[in-house]
Amino acid sequence: MAAHPDTYPALLLIGDGLGDRAVPELGGKTPTEAANTPTLDRLAAECESGLMDPIGAGIRGGSDTGHLAILGYDPYKYYPGRGPFEALGIGMDVQRGDLAFRCNFSTVDENLTVLDRRAGRINEGTTELAAALNGLQIEDVTCFFKESIAHRAALVMRGPGLGQHVSDVDPHGEGVQVWEAHSTVEGDEASAKTARILNQFVRKSYELLNDLPVNQARREQGLPPANIALPRGIGVSPDLPNFNAKWGVKSACIVEVGLVKGLGNYLGMDVIDVEGSTAGLDTDTEAIGNAVIEALKDHDFILCNVKGPDIAGHDSNAQGKVQIIEKIDRMIQQILDATDGKLILMFSGDHSTPVTYGDHTGEPCPILFWGPTVRRDNVTTFGETAASSGGVGRIRGLDVVPILTSYMGVQEKFGA
Amino acid sequence: MAAHPDTYPALLLIGDGLGDRAVPELGGKTPTEAANTPTLDRLAAECESGLMDPIGAGIRGGSDTGHLAILGYDPYKYYPGRGPFEALGIGMDVQRGDLAFRCNFSTVDENLTVLDRRAGRINEGTTELAAALNGLQIEDVTCFFKESIAHRAALVMRGPGLGQHVSDVDPHGEGVQVWEAHSTVEGDEASAKTARILNQFVRKSYELLNDLPVNQARREQGLPPANIALPRGIGVSPDLPNFNAKWGVKSACIVEVGLVKGLGNYLGMDVIDVEGSTAGLDTDTEAIGNAVIEALKDHDFILCNVKGPDIAGHDSNAQGKVQIIEKIDRMIQQILDATDGKLILMFSGDHSTPVTYGDHTGEPCPILFWGPTVRRDNVTTFGETAASSGGVGRIRGLDVVPILTSYMGVQEKFGA
């Protein structure tokens, strides 16, 4: 008589930018190794760990490409550039076929020479600025525009015959004039049209923003005016299969990164916002943990992302990275206590952001699988070095959901 | 001056469904770890082991897809559905382009409502039943039909213009009427023809079987009549390159699973039957070992499969799985003794069938390579946990024959 197979829900938990290198300030340990993580260490001892290349060995990925791969979508096939995810992440309506860009509010002079690419990291009044640009009609194309955090914003172009192969308008430096976009593919009329619309949009944004009350007030306060919108990171919204249908689960997404939130939305996951989630080192991981516990009541697959490790990595803040990892460790214990350990947990990163480097690198992240059905290995602590001899070996991001759904007991058999 | 390389024959030995999880009844060990396997432990200590994902990390495979991959044929490219292998496995003539189905003898009432999908697991008289259906001509299509074990059988359709995209007739449940097949691709005339033939075949099978003496006798004994044949698992016979030509070997196939036997046949391996091989826990592994020893006299590549570990896994029979693994261990020693160790041995599984789960799962199988030319590592026993830190690392099924043929000394160089 065959055992009736139990099924378990899964928590795919990402410490953003988790992976790291040996940090002299931490005595040559990585932040994960230096952190006091009794829960992660116990879980590593009980089950299996290894190394995971989100995209491929040595590939420096982003949060978008990394999460795409870990959720089972090959980014080489599906990644559309950052724009669409950025727009989705701030709640814009993005439809299949739309072009989307991320944007900066910047400061230019009357010759459109860039004086400050981030408009003094403007923090207030961007809603009014965005409203002045939103809905702009250029030829037969409608431009939707929305502010994000600080100087950031997104632009969605909707209209017929738009191509995606256009050069940048953002000169990515200061003291340089805004560039004219042009099609990068000869004879590509659709991209030529996009370039034409884009150049008009940039010029009109200067005309519409320069004298707005927000900017007059900024000038009076000695602050640089946010008097132009500079789009970049063009992408056409991709044809991504629905996550729940693809994997046979009911999923929720509790994440701190706008563009991953956008991805979750696009994939048909239930996106859950958490009060107290700041995407910073001060984030309320207990509140995030409670949201996960609550979501597990009516979902069997949760994607959760804590942004802090990446923030600390970018800021070369070793102690900060150690501390946020310790907070995540306590959050995991909180979730295990509330669920009586009846779930499959995967913990890893979406890329490495070493504090010694201050940006994303291509090294793999330590990965842990834990749960009632999970295999054992000889590893006894959690961290890059220990994981490198673990039973998981070295896998890729695309392997993660198949491994999880097998441990969950919900994967269809291939063959007989 | 390079040594003149010796060449060695290889034994690719599969314990069907070998991989497992921690089993509480075995003190948290896997059956492979709990089993007393002095030979496998010695071989692991002398050479190298690791983990092998037959198809890919986390993928729940079958014996058909698993063996295809391990023999070097990517199942995502070559897997045709189960029908063709099933038919080949019971000795039917399957030609390229034929459509093949696996079938159940089932019990239906006069409205073709399914009363018992397995006709009371009928065990006798199926030869007479199959003979009544074999050779049936429907339009310009010939239907070949043969019984397999118990209520199982296979159907091969041969004729022009048959498509493979048809829906099921088997309702996969009881108290439900047999379904009408239809083409699943709009405008696909070939599949519409297959559906038409299939529906006629099913109805005719009821007309031909219902009153046969076998079924009259069953009714008199109070047993459900096997009065319909329900095909499923349609597949078009695939274009698989010959194994010997592909790898430069002369191969034999000594396996206990019908569909793997079918695969061996189709690949051009010499299929050798063994008296006493039962595909159960009571199988005569000594007889199988002797057949391997005999086959090694005029073949340099033997595929051998012992079905028992999978049977025990499906039955959640931990002790049974331990015991069949111990029998395999003794069989390996028997083969090594007879060949003076002059061969390359690979031992692994075609998928995991954990006794705690009772069905196939996606975890990798422990894999062992041993022989005079094989590398060494630090592993000293055979089993999932020990293998997870072995020198082989984590490989895929498609890697196995290249590794073997290199150790055998028969692989062509790629490059100069």
Biggest CA–CA distance in chain B, Å, is: 81
pLDDT at A76 over 90: yes
pLDDT in the model for residue B85:
80
Residue of B65, B360, B384 with shortest CB distance to A375 = B384
Decide if A248 is inside a domain.
yes
Contacting residues of A for B260, CB less than 8 Å apart: none
Q: Say whether both A49 and A188 belong to one domain.
A: no
What's the ipTM?
0.84
Percent of chain A with pLDDT over 90: 88
Which of these, A150, A327, A80, lies nearest to A88 by C-alpha position? A80
Terminal Cα-to-Cα distance of chain B (whole angstroms): 17
The percentage of residues in chain B with a pLDDT greater than 90, rounded to a whole number, is 88
Residue owning tokens 């008009």: A200
In a domain, B154, yes or no: yes
Which residues, at least 6 apart from B287, have a Cβ–Cβ distance to it below 8 Å? B274, B275, B276, B277
Q: What is the DSSP letter of A236?
A: E
Residue ranges making up the domain that contains B156: 85-236
Q: Are residues B166 and B150 in the same domain?
A: yes
Residues B102 and B229 both lie in one domain? yes
Question: What whole-number distance in Å separates Cα of residue B157 and Cα of residue B304?
Answer: 30
pLDDT of A5 reads 59
* Mean pLDDT (whole number) for A392-416: 95
pLDDT for the residue numbered A238? 83
Per-residue model confidence (pLDDT) at position B264? 92
Same domain, yes or no: A196 and A112? yes
Domains identified in chain B, total number: 2
User: Given B210, B236, B262, which residue is the final one in a domain?
Assistant: B236
Q: Distance between alpha carbon B282 and the CA centroid of its chain, in Å? A: 18
Looking at residue B5, its pLDDT comes to 63
Residue A29 pairs in a beta bridge with A23
Same domain, B94 and B230: yes
Cα–Cα distances (Å) from A156 to A91, A133, B59, B111, in that order, read 12, 11, 38, 59
Say how far apart CA B161 and CA B192 lie, in whole Å.
10
B248 in a structural domain: yes
Domain final position from A194, A212, A236:
A236
Nearest-angstrom CA–CA distance, B294 and B291: 5
The pLDDT assigned to A262 comes to 86
Residue A37 vs residues A31, A311, A331, A384: alpha-carbon distances, Å: 11, 19, 11, 13
For residue range B165-213, list pLDDT tens digits in order.
999 999 988 999 999 999 999 999 999 999 999 999 999 999 999 999 9
The whole-angstrom distance between B227's CA and the closest CA on chain A is 25
Q: Does A216 touch chain B (CB under 8 A)?
A: no
Whether A151 and A204 map to the same domain: the answer is yes
In this structure, the answer to whether residues A251 and A187 fall within a common structural domain is no
**CB atoms near residue B287 (< 10 Å):** 14
Helices (H), A20-162: 31-34, 38-46, 63-70, 75-78, 83-89, 126-133
Q: Do B59 and A406 touch (CB under 8 A)?
A: yes
**pLDDT tens column, B11-45:** 999 999 999 999 999 999 999 999 999 999 999 99
The residue-averaged pLDDT of B367-375 equals: 97
Same domain, B383 and B326: yes
- Asked whether residue A155 is assigned to any structural domain, the reply reads yes
For chains A and B, count residue pairs whose Cβ atoms are closer than 8 Å: 115
Nearest CB partner across the interface for B385, out of A391, A402, A403: A391
Question: What's the average model confidence in pLDDT over B309-329?
Answer: 97
Kindly provide the b/e burial profile for residues A198-227, where b requires at least 16 CB atoms within 10 angstroms of the residue's own CB. bbebbebbbebbeebebbeebeeeebbbbb
Residues in A closer than 8 angstroms to B359, CB to CB, are 2, 5, 413
Nearest by CB to residue A378, choosing from B259, B355, B389, is B389
- Whether B357 sits inside 8 A of A378 (CB atoms) is no
B257 and B227 belong to one structural domain: no
Taking the CA atoms of chain A, what radius of gyration do you get in angstroms? 23
- The reported pLDDT for the residue numbered A4 is 47
At A50 the pLDDT is 97
Q: Is B306 helix (H, G, I), strand (E, B) or coil?
A: strand
Q: Is the model's pLDDT at A125 over the cut of 90?
A: yes
Residue A92 lies in a domain: yes
Q: What six digits make up the tokens of B105?
A: 């003898």
**Of the candidates B205, B236, B267, which is a domain's last residue?**
B236
B15 or B261: which leads in pLDDT: B15
Whether this prediction's pTM lies above 0.90 is answered by no
Of the two residues B238 and B373, the one the predictor is more confident about is B373
Residue A2 has pLDDT above 60, yes or no: no
Residue numbers of A between 114 and 153 with CB closer than 8 Å to B: none
Tens digit of each residue's pLDDT (9 = 90 or more) over B106-157: 999 999 999 999 999 898 999 999 999 999 999 999 999 999 988 999 999 9
CATH of the domain at A255: 3.40.720.10
* Residue of chain B with shortest Cα separation from A404: B58
pLDDT digits 0-9 by tens, A313-322:
999 999 999 9
pLDDT 10s digits, B46-97: 999 999 999 999 999 999 999 999 999 999 998 877 888 888 878 898 888 8
- Asked if residue B1 has pLDDT above 60, the reply is no
Which residues of chain B does A416 touch, with a Cβ-Cβ cutoff of 8 Å? 62-64, 82, 233, 259
Touching check for A300 and chain B: CB below 8 Å?
Answer: no
| Residue A324 to residue B24: CA distance in whole angstroms | 36
pLDDT at A271 over 80: yes
For the stretch A282-312, pLDDT in tens is 999 999 999 999 999 999 999 999 999 999 9
Query: Nearest-CA neighbor of B365 among B346, B379, B352, B382?
Result: B352
Nearest to B358 among A3, A373, A377 (CB): A3
Spatial distance between the Cα atoms of B167 and B213, rounded to a whole number of angstroms: 32
Q: Determine the pLDDT at residue B155.
A: 97
Closest C-alpha to A210, from A220, A219, A221, A197: A219
What is the pLDDT at residue B39?
98
8 Å CB contact of B60 and A1: no
Residue-level pLDDT at B4 = 52
Q: Token pair 């009794």 is at which residue?
A: A38
Residue for token pair 């220990």: A386
Instruction: Pick the residue of B33, B361, B392 with the most A CBs within 10 A to test the interface with A by mutation.
Output: B361
> In the Cβ-directed half-sphere of A140, how many Cα atoms lie within 13 Å?
6
Task: Please indicate, yes or no, if residue A291 is contained in any of the structural domains.
Answer: yes
Q: What is the mean pLDDT of residues B245-255?
A: 97
pLDDT digits (tens, 9 = 90+) for A210-247: 999 999 999 999 999 999 999 998 998 888 899 999 99
Assess whether pLDDT exceeds 80 at residue A204. Answer: yes
Answer whether A406 touches B (CB < 8 Å): yes
Query: Which residues between 245 and 284 in chain B have a beta carbon less than 8 angstroms from any beta carbon of chain A?
Result: 259
Instruction: Please check whether residue B101 touches A, CB under 8 A.
Output: no
Asked if B79's CB is within 8 angstroms of A415's CB, the reply is: yes
Rg (CA), chain B: 23
Residue B297 belongs to some domain of the structure? yes
Whether the per-residue pLDDT at B390 is higher than 90: the answer is: yes
Task: Say if the Cβ atoms of B233 and A2 lie within 8 Å.
Answer: no
Does residue A201 lie within any of the structural domains?
yes
- Do B65 and B90 share a structural domain? no
Q: Which helix (H) or strand (E) holds A100?
A: strand A99-108
B211 plus B244 within the same structural domain: no
DSSP 8-class letter at B291: H
A96 and A210 housed in the same domain: yes
- Confidence band (pLDDT; 50, 70, 90) for A1? very low
State yes or no: pLDDT of A3 exceeds 80: no
